[in-house]
Amino acid sequence: MNIRLFKPSVGEEELEMIRQAFDRSWIGLGPMVTRFEEEWAAYSGARAAIGVNSATAALHLAIASFRFPEGSRVLLPALTFAATASAVLYNRLIPVFVDSDPVTLGLDLDDLERKFTKDCVAVIPVHYAGHPVPMDRLMPWARAHGMKVIEDCAHTAGTRYKGRTLGTWGDIGCYSFEEKKLMTTGDGGMMVTDDPDLFKEVKAMRWVGIDKDNWRTAQRYTGTDADTMHWFYEISVLGWKYNMNDLAASIGLAQLKKLPAMNAHRSRMIRAYLDAIAGIPGVDPLLPFEPETCAYQMFGIRTDRSARLMAGLKSRGIATGRHYTPLGLQPLFAPWGGTTPFVDKEHERFITLPLHADLTLEEVRYVTDAIAEVAAHA
Ligand SMILES: Cc1ncc(COP(=O)(O)O)c(C=O)c1O
């Protein structure tokens, strides 16, 4: 047995879309990116979407688009991937780490309130593992304090929370299509916003500041009615080379069609995990999973015997992980650490278990049987 922790689920449909991009001989920023952006906006219920080459790039651009004064503070959870905090540092701002809610492991809203100071300009809720941060409570609080809200949606894609898709509650939502995520383009990301000014700004910033679509330019150039200004573009903002390309978008369009089925499959696997671990003493679900209403990118457990259990699962060919070492404990972020005591200790009890769209019920049973066996002898 060799059970992977994460695995992209890609096949003939994606290959066919790539073939079509090859046939068009247009594999850079082009019509497939535009189509994917339109389909993603429709899927998420946002007014507009912008394709980029990663969620890291999306977070960088999202923060940059607000032009906060250098040295301002940004609130974010300590329990997240480095990219959430790196994006703050890229913008020469100060990360303020917030502890985790002991039950959901999302932002602890009481600690958020305690950490707020008047130089805080934004908050980045991370829907950890795919579990919703209570945006209905966070948004009024953030607005009352004059803060922008950038949702880190790397672990969610399509979950609706109280009538709105996660990612469309804040000012900007940032999704990831890296290979371990709910759907993938190899590497890639998407930003959504309802604000036309932010949209225009970010669209230029993701492509070295150029605010015109080069596919349309080329169309005009090759059309009968060629405009002698076809070569012209204007750069009025500092941008980055962060655009998505047509190859990634082609894969994304095929994946988006499969996303509801892939999410439903993950939910079935989580339900099977939950049913099986309910009977294992000393092993609890990582958080209060609601697989019938949310799509989860990760599944995991909490246990006092995590090291022993991980070693036992490894020896049976089962990959495990820990998401994450809280960022305040990482040397890079340590200068801003030391203020999240709950998660700094609690993460030692976390084990991430295999979850992906091709996982089978037999594999889940193999994993849970192994957990029961190792736990009984721990
Ligand atoms: C919470 C979180 N935010 C951001 C990212 C960055 O995503 P990407 O790999 O698309 O840059 C990740 C990736 O793992 C993540 O888990």
User: 173 and 38 in one domain?
Assistant: yes
* pLDDT at site 232: 74
Angstrom distance (rounded) from CA 247 to CA 230 = 25
Helix (H, G, I), strand (E, B) or coil at 150: strand
204 has a pLDDT exceeding 80: yes
Query: The domain spanning residue 367 has which CATH number?
Result: 3.90.1150.10
Q: 153: which strand partners?
A: 175
For the stretch 270-293, pLDDT in tens is 999 999 999 899 999 999 999 999
For the segment 8-29, the average pLDDT, to the nearest whole number, is 97
CB of 201 within 6 A of ligand 1: the answer is: no
Residue 52 lies in a domain: yes
Answer yes or no: do 174 and 67 share one domain.
yes
CB 80 less than 6 A from any atom of ligand 1: yes
Tell me, in angstroms, the distance from the centre of ligand 1 to residue 223's CA.
41
Residue 247 covered by a domain = yes
Q: What local confidence, expressed as pLDDT, does residue 114 receive?
A: 98
* Contact between residue 314 and residue 320 where contact means Cβ atoms under 8 Å apart: yes
Residue 151 Cβ contacting ligand 1 at under 6 Å:
no
Residue 4 lies in a domain: no
Q: Is 154 in the pocket of ligand 1 (CB under 6 A)?
A: yes
Based on the fold, state whether residues 131 and 165 are members of the same structural domain. Answer: yes
Which residue type occupies 188? G
Stated as kind and residue range, the H or E segment containing 73 is strand 73-77
- Contact (CB, 8 A) for 304 and 349: yes
* Alpha helical stretches, state H, the chain: 12-24, 31-44, 55-64, 82-90, 109-115, 135-144, 196-205, 214-222, 246-277, 306-315, 341-346, 361-377
SS3 content of the chain, % helix, strand, coil (to 5): 40, 15, 40
Cα dihedral across residues 340, 344, 345, 348: positive or negative = positive
Which CATH number does the domain housing residue 132 bear? 3.40.640.10
Tell me if 185 is assigned to some domain: yes
Check pLDDT > 60 for residue 327: yes
Q: Identify whether the C-beta of residue 100 lies closer than 8 Å to the C-beta of residue 346.
A: yes
Task: Please report the pLDDT score of residue 223 as a whole number.
Answer: 55
Among left, alpha and beta (phi > 0; psi -120 to 50; other), residue 331 is alpha
Residue 211 has pLDDT above 80, yes or no: no
Instruction: Say yes or no to pLDDT of 118 above 60.
Output: yes
Domain tally for the chain?
2
> Which atom number of ligand 1 is nearest to the Cα of residue 176?
10
How many A from CA of 161 to the centre of ligand 1? 21
Do 275 and 135 reside in the same domain of the chain?
A: no
Which tens digit of pLDDT belongs to each residue from 40-97? 999 999 999 999 999 999 999 999 999 999 999 999 999 999 999 999 999 999 999 9
Whether 56 lines ligand 1, by a CB cut-off of 6 Å, is yes
Q: pLDDT value at position 234?
A: 79
Three-class secondary structure assignment of 78-113: CCCCHHHHHHHHHCCCEEEEECECCCCCCECHHHHH
What's the pLDDT at 349? 98
